[in-house]
Structure 1
Amino acid sequence: MFHPIDSNHFRASLGRFPSGVTVVTCKQEGQVHGMTASAFVSVSMDPPLVLVSVAKKARMHDKLLNAEEFGISILAQDQAHWSNHFAGKLHTQEPEFTEHEGVPVLEGALVNLVLKTHQRVEAGDHTLFIGEITYARYTEQDALLYFRGKYGQFQPE
């Protein structure tokens, strides 16, 4: 028999799944908005779709609901400070963005994606934002990883 789990146990359990770290961005009324997200996954190759899960209580949620396009920047190993910044622990420097067709993405990221909103799916206390990739740029840097609430790096065998 399965028993429901509380949110702390849920978070601790899934925190044992290592993930990359992304910053989701959009621009509204000339201002760039962003948030850190680790709930990011590839959905489809044809068409090229990815998904990011955003809590309905997050400030970014309503901004994404109104956005027809948004950006996702997969952070490089040396960008933990930007992950913290967009999670609410503001950094002393302001982040630098580059824009592709009006969509802001974080400068210096491992990967920059520009997406056209494809679908929004309500799922519990989150909304799944599925975007079709219209632009992708990547570098050969190493990725910032997140595991058990801490940042780390990949160590190949």
Structure 2
Amino acid sequence: MTRTESADRVRLPEHPSSEFRRSAGRFPTGVTVLTCVRDGEAHGMTVNAFATVSLDPLLVLAVLGTGSRTARQVLSGDGFAVTVLSSLQEPTARSFADPVRTRGGAAFSTVAHAPAPRTGSPVLLGGIAYFDCLVESTHPAGDHTILVGAVQTFGMLSEEPALLFSRSRLGAEPDPRLS
């Protein structure tokens, strides 16, 4: 393919927002549930914009929509936990992403969980890993907020394959135990 042929394939989108979302959705991401406890009540939300940031110090980030009620709960406190979901937890991911879901502690009534060692935020026991964090910083970013967490404790929960999100679909990563 020549440079000109390649350039012919690149075009300006007619509908930037929807086409941006579709283009970005081609990048597979892991799926997590971010949790916190505020005023004695647990809160949680599905987040697929999650990444590790630094090994020294240990930092992670999550990107939260500013219109989310749960995001406001998370951002109003000093700690949170992130559970990386396993391929067996698609219903959990969908439940914590549902805009009309049960709120507060009732949202955890059917999900096995335990308090994170440092923050007490719920860790979903069916996950594959968790990160228990103190809020390091927040950064406004358009219609989202970047939340940086200083990892206090972390650990592996299972050897199950991870749950991935790509092309607006949830699915399992290939099982590394079968390779």
Give me the TM-score of the superposition, normalised by structure 1. Answer: 0.91
Q: CA 1:4–1:136 in structure 2 vs 1: closer, same or farther (change >3 Å)?
A: farther
Match of 1:120 in 2: 138
Shift of 1:16: 0.5
Structure 2 CA distance, aligned partners of 1:49 and 1:127? 16
Structure 1 CA distance, aligned partners of 2:14 and 2:162? 34
Matches within 5 A, 1:41-60: 41-60=51-70
Structure 2 residue ranges without an equivalent (≥5): 1-10
Deviation per CA, 1:17-58: give whole Å up to 9, x if none. 011100000001111100001011111110010100001001
Mapped contact 2:86–2:127 kept (Cα < 8 A): yes
Match of 1:104 in 2: 122
Q: CA 1:12–1:114 in structure 2 vs 1: closer, same or farther (change >3 Å)?
A: same
- The counterpart of 2:168, out of the listed 145, 149, 152, is 149
Mapped contact 1:84–1:90 kept (Cα < 8 A): no
Structure 2 CA distance, aligned partners of 1:55 and 1:42? 19
Match of 2:4 in 1: none
Mapped contact 1:73–1:110 kept (Cα < 8 A): yes
Structure 1 CA distance, aligned partners of 2:86 and 2:148? 23
Mapped contact 2:51–2:61 kept (Cα < 8 A): yes
Structure with the greater alpha carbon radius of gyration: 2
Give me the TM-score of the superposition, normalised by structure 2. Answer: 0.80
Match of 1:95 in 2: 111
Shift of 1:103: 2.2
Q: CA RMSD in A?
A: 2.1
Match of 2:3 in 1: none
SS in 1 for 2:36: strand
Shift of 1:2: 6.2
SS in 2 for 1:78: helix
Structure 1 residue ranges without an equivalent (≥5): none
More strand by share: 1
More helix by share: 2
| Percent identity of paired positions between Structure 1 and Structure 2 | 34
- The counterpart of 1:134, out of the listed 152, 171, 175, is 152
Shift of 1:154: 2.2
Residue 31 of structure 1 pairs with residue 31 of structure 2: no
| Runs of 4+ with deviation above 3 angstroms | 1-5, 89-93
